[in-house]
Structure 1
């Protein structure tokens, strides 16, 4: 299996206290390099898959020809959803009309 190498470079900078003068002076940068190796994942190093079977090579399933129909019609779902939206809009308009009527009475 292939390996993946990850290299991490860290540069540390800082300040040192010069005790003779009681001042802070810039420290020399320290560079640290670390390497890590690990096995590659299938995403990083995919293994060639076998060629999938072609449609001509596959026989039709006998079950596919005998599956029952559900009898559902998506048109009814759309009509019911539309009706619910209309009822919701009607309720909002009624609330607004009542609120305006109450404000006019005051």
Structure 2
């Protein structure tokens, strides 16, 4: 899978917004290319297709003080924790947690 493939799968044309497994794949590919990761934020996709920000899954703060490998590592760990927390608390909902990956433009 390439970054172009992931962008086509993104629910947003302007940002990389993906479900957890694809977001982790994106992080691995972005890290390999040397892209500067600023962080991530949680997005919710509602059954009617609307997107909104998650109050519970805020994501990371600005990671610019971290090395690139630390930023990617922190993003992967914190995404995994948010995904697990989401799965435990939202077993019966049709709302999906997605991850918006924020890069330094």
TM-score, scaled to structure 2:
0.23
More strand by share: 1
More helix by share: 2
Greater RCO between the two (CA within 8 Å, min separation 6)? 2
